[in-house]
Amino acid sequence: MNKLKHALETKKFVVTAELAPADTSNPQAILDNAAVFKDTVDGINVTDASGAHVHMSSVAAGAILARAGYTPIYQISCRDRNRIAIQGDVLGAAALGIENVLCLTGDGVQVGDHPEAKPVFDLDSITLLETLKTMRDKKTFLSGRELVQPPQLFLGGAANPFAPPYHFRAMRLAKKVQAGAQFIQTQYCYDLTLFKRYMEQVRQMGLHEKVAILVGVGPLRSAKIANWMRENVPGVWIPDEIVQRLEKTPSKQQRQEGIKICTEIIEEVKAIDGVRGIHIMAYKQEEIVPDILKAVNLHPDQLLPQL
């Protein structure tokens, strides 16, 4: 049974989290990093060269987690591989017990540590969703060639309600739902006004009844890091008032204030109609995720589906 799919079908509120990528060939490093999420979240995202930086492959990291009993969410970026490689990787991932896939277009190579690399972008996030849906439902490759055993996939996509043009974001989501997205994880949410406006559009279009929306949240370690993210991480929007609140906090207390901001945001999004859960991105702060969940009354016994 796919635990993430089961959780979204049976629970009121679901939690997924992102695992810091590993710069090692040692599988134990993946398990050590994931240990903090044990019995705490419903799924663990394993990133695919996030930010165009090299890390252990998402397929390998996901397989290590699946073998250890975790529920991985395998991220695929279209930046680095063409449709031939991607379809083969998906079959391999399914053979290794990975069913949840998050389809991403991917950041450009210019933002990473190999700006001289040649980008591929043979597919984008929407055509990737369509490709994997074809493999699963029509039991064929994109070429039309028949699959002997199709992969059992639970398909996800990303959404950024905080990027202009804002009026287009819900329509973009509709395209991903039509392409096959069954769950959505959003970019970091630090602007609740924009997000509530986005969800109004989503509800007007009835999309909240067709796809499970998980809101991206994460604790800011300091005002300095918040400013760095605003300037260097593609797609991230952090309002001035959030940064100013951190700047007014003594430096030694800024990490705790960042956690407080995160819990306040979670409490608000929990009450928004159409939100099915949160996706926590606590980069290199994974150890505080259980405390954040306790602070917002999302305890392990509430999180784990009854199998």
C-beta neighbour count of 57 within 10 angstroms: 16
pLDDT at 304 over 80: no
Helix axes 192-204, 169-179, angle to 10 degrees: 50
Question: Across 11-15, 109-113, 206-210, which has the greatest mean pLDDT?
Answer: 206-210
Least confident of 92-106, 107-121, 168-182: 107-121
Structure tokens at 270: 């929990």
Split at pLDDT 50, 70, 90, the class of 288 is: very high
pLDDT of residue 218: 96
Average pLDDT score over residue span 158-163: 96
pLDDT of residue 303: 46
CA gap 295, 265 in Å, rounded: 12
Split at pLDDT 50, 70, 90, the class of 31 is: very high
Residue identified by tokens 């252990």 is 56
Average pLDDT score over residue span 185-196: 97
CA-based Rg of the chain, rounded to a whole angstrom? 19
Topology of 3-218+273-284 in CATH? TIM Barrel (3.20.20)
Strand partners, 156: 102, 183
pLDDT at 197 over 80: yes
Average pLDDT score over residue span 134-143: 97
Split at pLDDT 50, 70, 90, the class of 299 is: low
Question: Across 15-24, 104-113, 174-183, 234-243, which has the greatest mean pLDDT?
Answer: 174-183
Please report, for residues 60, 72, 83, the alpha-carbon distance to residue 67 in angstroms, rounded to integers and kept in the order given.
11, 10, 27
Average per-residue pLDDT in the chain? 94
**In the chain, where the domains are located:** 3-218+273-284
CA gap 305, 42 in Å, rounded: 8
Split at pLDDT 50, 70, 90, the class of 105 is: very high
pLDDT at 249 over 90: yes
CA gap 238, 191 in Å, rounded: 7
pLDDT at 110 over 60: yes
pLDDT of residue 112: 85
pLDDT of residue 77: 96
Average pLDDT score over residue span 25-46: 95
pLDDT at 307 over 50: no
pLDDT of residue 300: 59
CA gap 168, 201 in Å, rounded: 10
Split at pLDDT 50, 70, 90, the class of 52 is: confident
Burial 203-227 (b: 16+ CB within 10 A, else e): eeeebbeebbbbbbbbbbbbbebbe
Average pLDDT score over residue span 252-272: 97
pLDDT in tens, 64-92: 999 999 999 999 999 999 999 999 999 99
